[in-house]
Amino acid sequence: METTFDLENITGLSEEEAAAILKNEGYNELPSQKKQSLFSIFLNVLKEPMLLLLLIAGTIYLFLGEVRDAFILLVFVFVVVGITFNQEIKTERALEALKNLSSPRALVIRGGEQKRIPGREVVKGDIIILREGDRIPADGVVLSSTNLLVDESLLTGESLAVRKCESTGLTHSLKPEQLGGDDLPFVYSGTLVIQGHGVAQVSETGIHTEMGKIGKALGTIAEEDSLLKKETAQIIKTFAIFGGILCAVVVIVYGLTRGDWLHGLLAGLSLSMALLPEEFSVVLLIFLSMGVWRLSKRNVLVRRMPAIETLGASTVLCVDKTGTLTLNRMILNSLFSKGEYCELEKNKCLLEKFHELLEFGYLASQRDPFDPLEKEIKRNTEKFLSNTEHIHEEWKTVREYPLSKNLLALSNVWKSPDSGKYVIATKGAPEAIFDLCHLSEAEKEELSAHVQEMANRGLRLLGVAKASFQDDSLPEKQHDFEFEFIGLLGFVDPVRPSVAQSIKECYKAGIRVIMITGDYPGTAQHIARQIGLENPDKYITGPELANMDQQELSEKIKVTNIFARVVPEQKLTIVNALKQNGEVVAMTGDGVNDAPALKSAHIGIAMGERGTDVARESASIVLLNDDFFSIVAAVRIGRRIFDNLKKAIGYIFSVHMPIAGLALFPILFNLPLVLLPAHIAFLELIIDPACSTVFEAEPEEKNIMNRSPRNLQERMFGRKNLALSLVQGISMLAGVIAVFLYALHMGKGEADARTLTFATLVIANLTLIVANLSWSQSLIKTLSSENKALRYVLVGALSGLVLVLYVPALRSMFRFSLLHGDDLLIVCLVGTLSIAWLRLLKSQINNNI
């Protein structure tokens, strides 16, 4: 609606008043997650138990005067701290870089002058000027509007812009009753002006806006710990209790039998490091960090690492239509004129009978439009009608008749310099155009059938009409012209090109897809059929959902894949209902309205390019390129990560048995110590993290996307996994102890026995890696696979072993002796055979372990 509003008579707030309000109420911005300081990151790194044990052991060595051993341990500490600290810093920077949608700038009237200020400095009571392309900085009441259309899809999910009208009451007493809908005098923070202009007075800022209320509601949703985190915590607790008791026994036994309590403490620390329960968490963190890095290469940012574990278990994907399944931009797809249809995408040239329809659709639009519909009309007009008589560059606009509550149509009056008469072009809702053209009931009925047919195809329709006028004085109302109906323009919000294939991939992987949208059911069903969504004929609307009890919703949601005309709270209700049915829910979205559901879902997937900060901070995963296909890629990678993580954890469980056994065995039987803290640190620092990299880099199983989603309750350390790990660990321990006893039996000294045993342990360790990478193929085939990380680790570990064995300075630091050819033969044979014999059991072992 058009009103007269004199900006020159408005003074707005003074700078002093605005400053006082700003000081009292704070900045116009939403609270964000607190950024970690460098000092807090450093403290968190130093809290790792392995580092603390290394520091304690290094201090004891210094106290004993053994500076060389202390130096080795401190070097390990600095290396681990550096790697972990660098990873934390990179994560913080990635999250900070993602917040690329900073506070919009606002045009306000302060002290009678118009000025642009940062949106965060807007205060309650400010007068803001709204123009095409502006993002509204705060909630407000419209004082004046001229053809003002606002895109509120961030809040309502409705892809179509809504009309705004000016308020008629006292602005301070007005409160918005419900978001969305045409002809309301309210505007909201974060929404976008796509057409017209207006003036509004700010009513709420910051957390008090509608966007802020949704952000505040996120704090009431508790995040759930992942199954893997809970399981790992239980294992850590068990190991901690058992390991603590055992280490205390070792210190006491060593001190009583050998009379050396400080070295007994070192022996206890060695056993602690061998049994350290947090070691599982450290390896898990490293492995998942590598997964985060790999996903980032696919334009997928993981904000919460447990989401990687849950990805492969997803059974339902709840998808917000606007901007996720579709491109969120209207494309002129279909024309209707003179009883015939024309599909533009199928035509390189346009038949003459449709020229007039495009011509007057263009004349009823702005010359340089911002509105996406008018941009699309202009693009097609220039494409099909350039260099024809239907383009009137010399015509001048004389008057505009804007949209109103009573007439959903707008008209532009043009004057032709040749004929001197006025030409009027109008476009708007088909019913309004029918009314302007004074059609008979029979004509209306006939055209309404065509309108319904096009609407059923998911098209948004605009009617177009024309008129001419000879008098010098133009009428006040559009109804005073004699309009002639020309035709209909049909616009479609196109589906993303990769969506249909992605939906097929989801169904193949046993993942159900549900569309949740604020649009009408007809539009949703049309999109559903385009993308191949199952059961497109069944849907539930928001009002229907509001009247359902929990039991009815739980039943109907099992077979319904379309939810239309829903409001934000209902999206959260849908996600929670699915969770109560035992589904593992992934939810995609980009708007503020999606944030609660994103946070409540097992996996929240936000859009990075057009998504809001609130949505991104609530989500577990952010698609940096907004590509729906990336979701399927993320699921594939998630399944691969979980498969390989399972293998890696099994390996870690196995390898700790011989390490712990070698730390404990000599003490119980009063034999020379084999493993000192430096040796265990060597193994932990080089082999375990490196092996995590190898397992992470292992290619996916061929059938990974043809399986049903794994049960989220499936334990990482199930009976089969535990049994296999125990067999492998006991076999390794038997081999290295056999070598150790053999060396002592042959009269070799402490250094010789330690060297032989340690080298055998390293070879057995590397064999264990290869054996656990794949139980479906031979060791030789595994070694020749495309896993470059495996070759790097094997070469690196063997090179490190050679260096500590044959470089005199390093050999002395590790208290080793020189190995000869026959020694190396024993090391290689025992180290390899202690694991290789288990390959004979592969036919009895489930490949999915």
In angstroms, the CA 110 to CA 15 distance is 6
What is the maximum alpha-carbon separation in the chain?
122
Start-end of H helices in 298-364: 306-311, 355-363
Q: Looking at the DSSP assignment, which residues form a beta bridge with residue 186?
A: 141
Which of 95-104, 295-304, 312-321 has the highest average model confidence (pLDDT)?
A: 312-321
pLDDT in tens, 782-819: 777 778 888 888 888 899 899 999 999 889 888 899 99
Confidence (pLDDT) at 840: 61
Q: Is the pLDDT of residue 233 over 50?
A: yes
The amino acid sitting at 658 is: P
Q: Is the pLDDT of residue 129 over 50?
A: yes
pLDDT in tens, 70-92: 676 667 667 666 656 665 665 45
Ordered strands of the 316-320 beta sheet: 300-302, 621-623, 603-607, 585-589, 316-320, 512-516, 562-564, 540-541
Helix (H) or strand (E) holding 63: helix 49-63
Helix (H) or strand (E) holding 432: helix 430-436
Mean pLDDT along residues 390-404: 85
Question: Smallest Cα–Cα separation from 412: which of 458, 361, 338?
Answer: 361
pTM here is 0.65
Helix (H) or strand (E) holding 543: helix 542-546
The amino acid sitting at 134 is: D
Q: Is the pLDDT of residue 256 over 90?
A: no
Positive or negative torsion for Cα 493, 496, 497, 499: negative
Q: How many CA atoms lie within 13 A of 228 on its CB side?
A: 21
Q: What percent of the chain has pLDDT over 90?
A: 23
Q: 716 or 195: which carries more pLDDT confidence?
A: 195
Q: Cα 661 to chain center, whole Å?
A: 43
Q: What's the chain's average pLDDT?
A: 79
Q: Is the pLDDT of residue 532 over 80?
A: yes
Domains in the chain, ordered, with CATH?
Answer: 7-30+102-220 (2.70.150.10), 224-299+633-844 (1.20.1110.10), 316-327+496-626 (3.40.50.1000), 331-492 (3.40.1110.10)
Output the six-digit token pair for 139: 């909630």
In angstroms, the CA 144 to CA 4 distance is 8
Residue 767 neighbours by CB distance under 10 Å:
22
Name the 3-class secondary structure at 492.
strand
Question: Smallest Cα–Cα separation from 336: which of 458, 439, 450?
Answer: 450
Confidence (pLDDT) at 328: 74
Torsion of CA 602, 607, 613, 618, to 10 degrees: 0
Mean pLDDT along residues 418-439: 89
Ramachandran angles phi, psi of 488, nearest 5°:
-125, 140
Q: What band does 104 get if pLDDT is binned at 50, 70 and 90?
A: low
Helix (H) or strand (E) holding 622: strand 621-623
In angstroms, the CA 378 to CA 754 distance is 82
Q: Cα 101 to chain center, whole Å?
A: 16
Confidence (pLDDT) at 170: 47
Q: Is the pLDDT of residue 465 over 90?
A: yes
Q: What percent of the chain has pLDDT over 70?
A: 76
Q: Cα 334 to chain center, whole Å?
A: 35
Contacts of 304-308 with C-beta under 8 Å, sequence gap 24+, read: 304/223, 304/620, 306/225, 306/226, 306/228, 306/229, 306/620, 307/603, 307/620, 307/621, 307/638, 308/638, 308/641, 308/642
Q: 417 or 582: which carries more pLDDT confidence?
A: 582
Confidence (pLDDT) at 435: 92
Q: What band does 7 get if pLDDT is binned at 50, 70 and 90?
A: low
**Which residues, 6 or more positions from 209, have their beta carbon under 8 angstroms from its beta carbon?**
138, 139, 188, 189, 190
Confidence (pLDDT) at 775: 66
Q: 418 or 466: which carries more pLDDT confidence?
A: 466
In angstroms, the CA 743 to CA 69 distance is 25
Helix 521-531 and helix 499-508, axial crossing angle in degrees, nearest 10: 70
Contacts of 470-474 with C-beta under 8 Å, sequence gap 24+, read: 470/421, 470/422, 474/398, 474/399, 474/413, 474/422
In angstroms, the CA 717 to CA 305 distance is 19
In angstroms, the CA 476 to CA 474 distance is 7
DSSP 8-state symbol, 7: G
End-to-end CA distance of the chain: 68
Of 237-251, 548-562, 702-716, 820-834, least confident by mean pLDDT is 237-251
pLDDT in tens, 13-51: 999 999 999 989 888 876 655 555 666 666 666 666 556
In angstroms, the CA 702 to CA 346 distance is 40
Which of 7-16, 401-410, 459-468 has the highest average model confidence (pLDDT)?
A: 459-468
Q: Are the beta carbons of 335 and 351 closer than 8 angstroms?
A: no
Q: Looking at the DSSP assignment, which residues form a beta bridge with residue 202?
A: 140
Question: Smallest Cα–Cα separation from 603: which of 368, 352, 314?
Answer: 314
The total number of residues shown for the chain amounts to 849
Which of 438-442, 457-461, 591-595, 608-612 has the highest average model confidence (pLDDT)?
A: 438-442
pLDDT in tens, 382-391: 888 887 888 8
Q: How many CA atoms lie within 13 A of 297 on its CB side?
A: 6
Of 6-10, 147-151, 793-797, 845-849, least confident by mean pLDDT is 845-849
Q: Looking at the DSSP assignment, which residues form a beta bridge with residue 140?
A: 187, 202
Positive or negative torsion for Cα 482, 484, 489, 490: positive
Q: What is the DSSP string of 438-476?
A: T--HHHHHHHHHHHHHHHTTT-EEEEEEEEEE-SSS--S
Which of 34-38, 494-498, 552-556, 670-674 has the highest average model confidence (pLDDT)?
A: 552-556
Name the 3-class secondary structure at 400.
strand
**Which residues, 6 or more positions from 308, have their beta carbon under 8 angstroms from its beta carbon?**
288, 291, 292, 295, 302, 638, 641, 642
pLDDT in tens, 600-650: 888 888 876 665 555 666 678 887 777 778 888 888 888 887 888 788 878
In angstroms, the CA 183 to CA 148 distance is 10
**Which residues, 6 or more positions from 776, have their beta carbon under 8 angstroms from its beta carbon?**
701, 842, 847
Confidence (pLDDT) at 60: 63
Q: Is the pLDDT of residue 192 over 70?
A: yes
pLDDT in tens, 820-846: 889 999 999 999 998 888 766 654 444
Q: Are the beta carbons of 377 and 358 closer than 8 angstroms?
A: yes
Q: What band does 97 get if pLDDT is binned at 50, 70 and 90?
A: very low
Confidence (pLDDT) at 98: 37
In angstroms, the CA 738 to CA 757 distance is 9
Confidence (pLDDT) at 77: 67
Mean pLDDT along residues 331-351: 85
